Amino acid sequence: MTLDVMAVDGLGTRALSAAVQVVVRLTDVNDNAPTFDITIHTLVLSESIDPNTTFFTVNATDPDLGDNGKVGYALANGADVFSVDALTGEVSCRSSLDRETLAAYTLRLVAHDHGQPARSSVMTLRVLLEDINDNSPVFYPLLYFATLPVKRSALPVAHLLASDNDLGVNATLQFHWSVTEAEQMPLRLDVDSGKLFQHKSLLF
Ligand SMILES: [Ca+2]
Ligand SMILES: [Ca+2]
Ligand SMILES: [Ca+2]
Ligand SMILES: [Ca+2]
Instruction: Determine the pLDDT at residue 204.
Output: 62
Q: CA distances (Å), 5 to each of 9, 14, 20, 24, 57, in order? A: 14, 20, 5, 12, 51
**Whether residues 49 and 119 fall in one domain:** yes
Rounded to an integer, what distance in angstroms lies between the CA atom of residue 3 and that of residue 20? 8
**Whether residues 93 and 144 fall in one domain:** no
Question: Is the residue at 28 inside a domain?
Answer: no
**How far does residue 35's CA lie from ligand 1's centre (Å)?**
9
**How far does residue 98's CA lie from ligand 2's centre (Å)?**
4
Question: Is the residue at 1 inside a domain?
Answer: no
Which of 80, 106, 130 finishes a domain? 130
Question: Is the residue at 3 inside a domain?
Answer: no
Rounded to an integer, what distance in angstroms lies between the CA atom of residue 6 and that of residue 3? 10
Instruction: Determine the pLDDT at residue 148.
Output: 86
**Whether residues 91 and 67 fall in one domain:** yes
**How far does residue 134's CA lie from ligand 2's centre (Å)?**
5
* CATH code for the domain in which residue 122 is found: 2.60.40.60
**Whether residues 118 and 162 fall in one domain:** no
**Whether residues 126 and 142 fall in one domain:** no
- Encode the chain (204 residues) as per-residue pLDDT tens digits: 888 998 888 777 788 889 999 988 888 899 999 999 999 999 999 999 999 999 999 999 999 999 999 999 999 999 999 999 999 999 999 999 999 999 999 999 999 999 999 999 999 999 999 999 999 999 999 999 988 888 888 899 999 999 999 999 999 999 998 877 777 788 899 999 999 999 877 776
What's the number of domains the chain is made of?
A: 2
**How far does residue 167's CA lie from ligand 3's centre (Å)?**
7
Closest-CA residue to 164 (of 134, 196, 194, 129)? 134
Question: Is the residue at 21 inside a domain?
Answer: no
**How far does residue 129's CA lie from ligand 3's centre (Å)?**
9
Question: Is the residue at 29 inside a domain?
Answer: no
Question: Could you say which ligand is closest to the alpha carbon of residue 33?
Answer: 1
The β-bridge relationship of strands 158-159 and 104-113 is unpaired
Q: Which residues are placed with Cβ below 5 angstroms of ligand 1, an ion?
A: 30, 32, 62, 64, 68, 113
Instruction: Determine the pLDDT at residue 150.
Output: 84
Which domain does 126 fall in, by range? 35-130
**Whether residues 45 and 73 fall in one domain:** yes
Question: Is the residue at 16 inside a domain?
Answer: no
**Whether residues 120 and 184 fall in one domain:** no
Cα-trace Rg, the chain: 37
Rounded to an integer, what distance in angstroms lies between the CA atom of residue 156 and that of residue 179? 20
**Whether residues 47 and 71 fall in one domain:** yes
What three-state secondary structure class fits 80?
coil
**How far does residue 67's CA lie from ligand 4's centre (Å)?**
52
Instruction: Determine the pLDDT at residue 123.
Output: 98
Which value, to the nearest 10 degrees, does the dihedral of the CA atoms of residues 46, 50, 52, 53 take? -50
Question: Is the residue at 149 inside a domain?
Answer: yes
Question: Is the residue at 77 inside a domain?
Answer: yes
Which of 97, 113, 130 finishes a domain? 130
Rounded to an integer, what distance in angstroms lies between the CA atom of residue 113 and that of residue 106? 23
CB 32 within 8 A of CB 111: no
Which of 88, 113, 130 finishes a domain? 130
CA angle (134, 139, 144) in 5-degree steps: 170
